[in-house]
Structure 1
Amino acid sequence: MTTQTAALPGGTAGAGRPDRAWPCEGPLVLGVRHHGPGSARAVLAALDAAEPRAVLVEGPPEGNALLPLAADEGMVPPVALLAHAVDDPGRAAFWPFAEFSPEWVAIRWALARDVAVRFIDLPAAHSLAAAADPSWGDEEDVADDGEPALRVDPIGVLAEAAGYDDPERWWEDVMEHRRGTEATDRAGPVDGAFAPFAAVGEAMAALRERYGHGGHAHDLVREAHMRIQLRAARREFGEEVAVVCGAWHVPALTARSTATADRALLKGLPKVRTETTWVPWTHRRLARLGAPGRGYGAGIESPGWYAHLFSAPDRPVERWMTKVAGLLRDEDRAVSSAHVIEAVRLAVTLAAVRGRPLAGLGETTDAIRAVMCDGSDVPLALVRDRLTVGDVLGEVPDTAPAVPLQRDLARLQRGLRLKPDPLERELELDLRKDTDAARSRLLHRLRILGVGWGSPESGRGSTGTFRETWRLRWEPELYVRVAEAGVWGTTVPTAATAKAESQAVSATALADVTSLAERCLLAELPDALPVVMRALADRAALDADVGHLAEALPALARSLRYGDVRATDTAALGEVAAGLAERVCVGLPPACAGLDADAAAAMRDRLDGVHSAIGLLPQAEELGGRWADVLRRIVLRDAVPGLIRGRAARLLLDDGRLAEGEAARLMGLALSPGTPPAGAAAWIEGFVGGASGGGMLLVHDERLLGLVDAWLTSVPADAFTDVLPLLRRTFSAYEPGVRRTLGELARRGPAAGGPVRAETGVPGFGSGLDEQRADAVLSVLRVILQEERV
């Protein structure tokens, strides 16, 4: 907020304004709190009353050329100025503006009246360069005695002085909830427009006198640049200049200083070449704090509430409660007009009891919880997410400057009807449809470029079928990622191809190259595949680590199936995959021996991956028999950890290459008294552990369940505590229904009656398949699978 300023050298108060006197000697400095609706209304009233010839706003001067776009009909806040280093687009900063931001109101006011408007803060060219210097951050500020300087929260200090324990509540009471105040009534509509700025300016002057820069030493450099720009504006426009800046800076801009001293503070600052544009912003992003040197750190806890306070013409509490009621009704909650009336009454009463001029967010929230949410915080969380914060996404006109890659992406988004949305949503794609296939290509290409707009979800599309599931959410920071990716090309396909080729050449791990090949096929980048395939062949020929080969094979197998779906020629890829599979079959058994627990767990996962991959390869029938022989060798090799041996036995059983009786025999050997309990527990985990369906295997095969039960009851007491964590990890992964059934089977025991297998004496299911009972469910299955029409 501001104060009437002492006249600086040069200019005469009120020059060129015979119709109305200039309200102060020197420039009118309007100190505000960024993104405050009360501050925005006060700035608008002050500008209307003063009618300055020029408006100066806290912001990077590189954005001056873009300011006319703020008046464009296609510019819908929230938006942000994005500045990034040309040579390093990842070094970027945002300056966001909402419709209730005082700076935005001042910019729109000036443009609507053809008044000169400029940004005067330290150029982004300096701030982006200096941000990379550790000495620029607040954490390096020190006091005169060499100790870290105390960082002052000016709003907190003033709130404490006023007897408030909550700085936010104090600021809301004195500024954000002001609508036609006592100062206006006493001083008149013109003088009253400047009264709040004078009061806050005096308070900030007192704080700066006591605390100096308040632990923010780099603010002195910014303020020096602001003063230089202010002098230049006064030489051009006289004293009729209004400055809209953070209230903390008001004393620095009104204090006497010399141009020489200010230029000395700016001397030697690092500098980078920058580019600037407007980008859409979101309310949710406004609610996050910024980092030093990266533009305004908004950190507004309730941007949706602030937008409501600024836009509501009257009765803000009543209108807010109506919005909340509409939201809750849309969620099928019974909320009537009587609830709205009662909630308004309660909020107003709470404000009166708490001594507040208007019911604030705290009072309205308490009233909503009590009246509309029946005291529950669950629906209240929805109100906070959808209304108090909100998912409003701004818009920027097409005429705003952008890197070529961003323009191509925007064109593709429009053509594919994929609008950037700040709300997370799920997208189902059918790759047999041209539009969905094009959407899939775009999303996969963006992932290669590091633009994480969408992430694939596990589901039907995860194994390369005709469907894909994506989870999409557009964040403003993705504009920076697009700018970074612009170094690879001017269009999405060419940029993705260039980056994929570069990654293939620089990759050192075989798994990285195979993953890249998979992503290139998904993204349909045929021009990149030759480079990737050469790198893949070279890495595969040189890599002798069986673990690396086993990690690489699943991605190749998936890529072959993706190629089938997308009609891509993958003959060369198939040859590489077959060669890798052969080498894995030769080297895997010895590689599984002598592993510790962690290495065994990693090898178990590789075993699963190779098993699935071989089933997907075109040579699956030929390789399947050889792979089964490899698994048998692992099962019978005592030097292999029990976890891996158990897993290999389970894979053979699932493929029908191991008889049930043989599986029971192997389990009996693994659980024999001569086997250490820890090793036996690891074998069980490998055989029936995890989400592999091992629980249902125990439910339906009483022999296996009986073996596990008998072994468990025979484990010595001193060893039981050692194997218990392993067993708990094994059985905790089962579905609750499976665990309950196993518990019931164990509780019944042989004496409970029911079908009993003669060879084991364990009760449970019959010894064979009851075909008559199985046939009874076929008609239901046909309906479920939609194989017959009802």
Structure 2
Amino acid sequence: MAETAPEPAGTYVLGIRHHGPGSARAVLAELDRIRPHAVLIEGPADATPIIGALVDPGMAPPVAVLGYAADNPAKAAFWPFAEFSPEWQAMRWAVKAGVPVEFCDLPTSQVLAHRDDAPADEPRAPSRADPIGTLAATAGYDDPERWWDDVIETRGEGTGFAAITEAMTALRTAAEPFELGEPSAEEVHERRREAHMRQVLRKALKRPGVERVAIVCGAWHAPALSGKLPPATADSKLLRGMPKLRSKLAWVPWTHSRLAAASGYGAGVISPGWYHHLFTTPDDVTVRWLIHQATLLRDKDIDISSAHIIETARLADALAVMRRRPLAGLTEISEATLAVMCQGDSGLADLMYREAVIGERLGGVPDDAPVVPLQADLTATARSARLKVEPTARELVVDLRRPADNAKSLLLHRLSVLGVEWGTPLEVSGTGTFKEGWTLRWRPEFVIDVVMASVWGTTVPAAATAKVVDQASSGGSLDRVTGALEAALLAELPDALPPVLTALHERVAVDHDVLHLMSALPALGRARRYGDVRGTDTAALGSVASSLLLRVCIGVPAAISNLNDDAAAEFKRGLDAVHQTVSLLDEEDRDRWAAAVRVIADRSDVNGLLVGRATRLLLDGGEIDAADAARRLGLALSAGATPVAKAQWIEGFLGDGGLLLVHDRHLLAVIDRWLIGLGDQDFTDVLPLLRRTFGEFDAGVRRNIGNRVASLGEAPVATAPTTTVDAALAAPAVAVVAQILGLP
């Protein structure tokens, strides 16, 4: 068979839609036909050296080129590619064919500098019409996505690049009248981009042996690169003096959801999962797609048979015929899926849209790809801890007594310190402290967070240590310092403890606000408890907590004077938090706190909310008995106080639990007599407070209280004597339970 004559020399501009599977197929077909000597791709020119990594077995799209400022990683930009992206396929074709390939757009150094220099308050020029939308409207379509899907993506045969360039030329010509006057910064940037592309094209055409050059770029730019190029001097003048900054580049994993237009990505598509299917499925596109959806539904225990698939395919084809579409597109398939597979359940259809149409495919890059040292350490640590990087959310419960689980917990806590929220804490059932719950979900933008965190160190432990120390020593509130201390213990950063404790001592010495001191104690208590669980030496925390508690106890009498209702409510929350923390401290600290609480309970000039709460804490702690509590309640409800003050006392005393009234008939009778004796106006005044108090109780508790009130007039029922516990016999069982719970 005679060989096909080569195409004539010249420039072949392939105007594409970013992330379009039909465009990708057309580009591959055109490259096979043209057999160019050089391929240029729209993308950052300084990323050309990393194109060769595309053919590495470890490279799996979707991936993105990450460009960031070397001295400020927060300044970053992404250029993502999916398997169905025309640029990706063109690069792979060129690398495999041994054809020189390079990016031709402005380099990252100038793109990032432009973002810094663009004035935020500059008046925006009249925006150009969406070219795809304009062409769709001209063809009689009200949906640009549907038009492009019909003409390019779904059909997929032929190229039509000359027609696309001609259409874009007409659109750009029609838009020229709107671009009169002084151009905006964005318009100047667009002109510079096209000028840079032409300059790269000129250099490529001058290389020895290069006769045919293929350029793969967004369709809008095709007219600027087609035909006879303008003089190079004009482009050089436009590019002269552009600001630059030092930048670095790397390949990073990406996801389909981040390619979706719904994510806010400017060049995003509405259906990356569907487009991936279109590009990778050579035939029976509709049926294979429906099989994929049926599998997803079956995984969720939804009964889907082959009959559902057949009927859905028939309905989709019928809808396409009725609408005079060449083939059933995503719209028809989605409507048929809703009607047949989902049986009209829009919620289930939305789930299918998220999981199938958008999808959550996560790409990968080779292990030896250039990354910052912190990212390399993170990857190695995650692999060692058997933490899989996944884009979908999943729950993880770890047991801190197991070395493998403890390693997972430490990595997640350390990343949280660095601002990489791969895992978010999840509440787990049980009373022990050895279990930890997490919800794991990796997002592509975490790569930027890792790059930004690399300023603290080259390994995860070193970076987390440096950041915790800086957080504690940089000043701020006492809460910030204690938070840093708690983070250091949870993340097991022993090198951070001495400087953090020093900062804590210094901050405590100058902070005289009792509420601030009270808010710091719970963090110390939690830190000490989790330190014990992890086997960390937390002896120094005991002295810090004791010193802090002493200052709280000394300052309480003055702090509770002359508090209004809002301030009293805030102080009550601090009171509860400290009381829970004190149980983790030594006996001397518990006695000191009990004395401070008794001071509050004995005061008659303090907001009733605090006095009632202090009385309840004493009762629960065994410092007073039920008879004393009833006496105090009777005094609080005496004629000397206002009805509102009495209701506040009851609110503080009962708190958010009413079981006390279920079990103590005497206390219930005191409150019942007080309520019965209220006048109409007094009852109206205290009703909102009482409703708020009793409304916090569970429905079962309220029902039991009602039953007890109804039986207050009845004679008490004799109860059987309580069984005596033999301490000697119970001691072995108590010891085993204490060991299980990790108690001393």
The two structures have a TM-score, normalised by structure 2, of 0.89
Matches within 5 A, 1:167-182: 167-180=144-157
1:731–1:739 CA contact under 8 A, matched in 2 = no
User: Are 1:77 and 1:395, in contact at CA under 8 Å, matched by a contact in 2?
Assistant: yes
Provide Cα deviations, 1:62-86, integer angstroms capped at 9, x if missing partner: 2111100011111000101111111
2:652 equivalent in structure 1 = 686
Specify the SS of the correspondent of 2:494. coil
Instruction: Report the Cα offset of residue 721 of structure 1.
Output: 7.4
**1:460-609 map, 5 Å:** 465-609=433-577
Indicate how the Cα distance of structure 1 residues 603 and 786 shifts in structure 2: closer, same or farther if over 3 A, else same: closer
> How many residues end up aligned between the 2 structures?
720
Q: Is contact 1:706-1:762 (8 Å) kept?
A: no
Q: Distance in 2 between matches of 1:417 and 1:718?
A: 67
Q: Does 1:746 align with 2:719?
A: no
Letter in 2 for 1:170: W
> Is there any run of 5+ residues in structure 2 with no aligned partner, and where?
726-732, 739-744
1:6 aligned residue: none
| C-alpha distance 387-726 of structure 1, shift in aligned 2 (>3 A) | farther
- Pick from 69, 74, 97: which aligns with 2:81? 97
Pairing partner for 2:220 from 228, 233, 248: 248
Which one is further off, 104-113 or 446-455? 446-455
TM-superposed deviation, 1:90: 1.3
Q: Distance in 2 between matches of 1:631 and 1:179?
A: 78
The CA deviation at 1:597 is 3.6
1:20-419 alignment, distance < 5 Å: 20-22=6-8, 26-135=10-119, 140-143=122-125, 149-180=126-157, 184=158, 194=161, 197-198=164-165, 200-209=167-176, 211-212=178-179, 216-217=186-187, 218-236=189-207, 238=210, 240-254=212-226, 256-287=229-260, 297-419=266-388
In structure 2, relative to structure 1, the CA distance for the partners of 1:680 and 1:238 (3 Å cut) is farther
Q: Give the aligned residue type for 1:89.
A: P
- Alignment partners' CA distance in 2, 1:719 and 1:97: 71
Alignment check: 8 A CA contact 2:15 2:161 kept: no
Could you say if the C-alpha distance between residues 648 and 163 of structure 1 is closer, same or farther in structure 2, counting changes exceeding 3 Å? farther
Secondary structure at 1:429 match in 2: strand
Q: Which moved more, 1:443-452 or 1:674-683?
A: 674-683
Shift of 1:228: 1.9
Rate the CA distance shift 1:566–1:744 in 2: closer, same or farther, 3 A.
Answer: closer
Distance of 2:496 and 2:704 partners within structure 1: 58
Q: How far has the Cα of 1:739 moved from its partner?
A: 1.8
Kept after mapping to 1: 8 A contact 2:131/2:168: no
- 2:611/2:652 contact within 8 Å kept: yes
Structure 2 letter corresponding to 1:306: Y
- Aligned with 2:617 (options 638, 651, 654): 651
Identity %, equivalent residues: 52
Q: Is the 8 A contact 1:450 1:481 kept in 2?
A: yes
Q: Which runs of 5+ in 1 are unaligned?
A: 1-16, 144-148, 185-191, 751-755, 775-781
Which residue identity is paired with 2:387? L
Displacement, 1:616?
0.5
Q: Which amino acid aligns with 2:598?
A: R
For residues 260 and 344 of structure 1, do their structure 2 counterparts lie closer, same or farther at Cα, with a shift above 3 Å needed?
same
1:593 aligned counterpart, secondary structure: coil
Change (3 A) 1:711 1:41: farther
Residue number among 614, 622, 628 corresponding to 2:594 in the alignment: 628
AA matched with 2:29: A
* Matching residue of 1:12: none
Cα offsets for 1:12-31 (capped at 9, x unmatched): xxxxx993123xx8422222
Determine if contact 2:166/2:223 at 8 Å carries over to the other structure.
no
The verdict on how the C-alpha distance between 1:200 and 1:648 changes in structure 2, with shifts beyond 3 A counting, is farther
Q: CA RMSD in A?
A: 3.1
Indicate yes or no: 2:397 matched with 1:444. no
Q: Report the Cα offset of residue 563 of structure 1.
A: 2.2
Distance 1:488 1:680 in 2: 56
1:222-271 Cα offsets, whole Å, 9 max, x none, are 22222222222222265511111112222333375333332333333322
Deviations along 1:67-122, whole A, 9 cap, x unmatched? 00011111000101111111111111111111111111111111111111111122
In structure 2, C-alpha distance between the alignment counterparts of 1:174 and 1:706, rounded to whole Å: 82
Q: 1:536 to 1:259 in 2, by over 3 A?
A: same
Structural mapping, 1:659-698, within 5 Å: 659-671=625-637, 675-690=641-656, 694-698=657-661
Check the 8 A contact 1:200/1:247 in 2, yes or no: no
Closer/same/farther in 2, CA of residues 211 and 579 from structure 1, 3 Å limit: same
Question: Structure 2 vs 1, CA of residues 348 and 583 (structure 1 numbering), >3 Å: closer, same or farther?
Answer: same
Contact 1:31 1:201 in 2 (8 A): no
Asked if structure 1 preserves the Cα contact closer than 8 Å seen for 2:262 and 2:270, the reply is no
User: Distance in 2 between the 1:52 and 1:349 partners?
Assistant: 43
SS at 1:465 equivalent: coil
State whether residues 83 and 89 of structure 2, in contact with CA within 8 Å, keep that contact through their aligned partners in structure 1. Answer: yes
Is 2:402 the partner of 1:433?
Answer: yes
Letter in 1 for 2:164: F
Give per-residue Cα distances to partners, 1:148-202, cap 9 Å, x unaligned: x23532222322333322222222222221133xxx4xxxxxxx55455345434
Letter in 1 for 2:523: A
Deviates more, 1:555-564 or 1:589-598: 589-598
Q: Distance in 1 between matches of 2:649 and 2:156?
A: 74
Cα 1:582–1:268, aligned 2, differ >3 Å: closer, same or farther?
Answer: same
**Structure 2 residue identity aligned to 1:73:** P
* C-alpha separation in 2, matches of 1:540 and 1:767: 55
Q: Which amino acid letter does the alignment assign opposite residue 66 of structure 1?
A: I
CA distance in 1 between partners of 2:694 and 2:52 (Å): 66
**Which residue does 1:146 correspond to in 2?**
none
1:740-784 per-residue CA deviation (whole Å, 9 max, x = no partner) reads 55257538963xxxxx34xxx389x96867859x9xxxxxxx9xx
Q: Alpha-carbon deviations, 1:632-684, whole Å to 9, x = none?
A: 22233344333333322332232232323333444444455664454444444
Output the CA distance in 1 between the equivalents of 2:632 and 2:28. 83
The answer as to whether partners of 1:464 and 1:565 remain within 8 angstroms in 2 is no
Counterpart of 2:5 in structure 1: which amino acid?
Answer: D
Q: What whole-Å deviation, never above 9, does each CA across 1:666-717 have from its counterpart, x for those lacking one?
A: 4444455664454444444433344xxx133344445555555666677777
Deviation at 1:210, TM superposition (A): 5.3
Q: Is the 8 A contact 1:646 1:686 kept in 2?
A: yes
Letter in 2 for 1:504: A
| CA-to-aligned-CA distance 1:337-375 (integer Å, 9 cap, x gap) | 001101111111122223322222222222112111221
The answer to whether the Cα contact below 8 Å between 1:205 and 1:250 also exists between their aligned partners in 2 is no
Following the alignment from structure 2 to structure 1, what is the Cα–Cα distance between the partners of residues 220 and 576? Answer: 62
Contact 2:273–2:357 (Cα < 8 Å) also in 1: yes
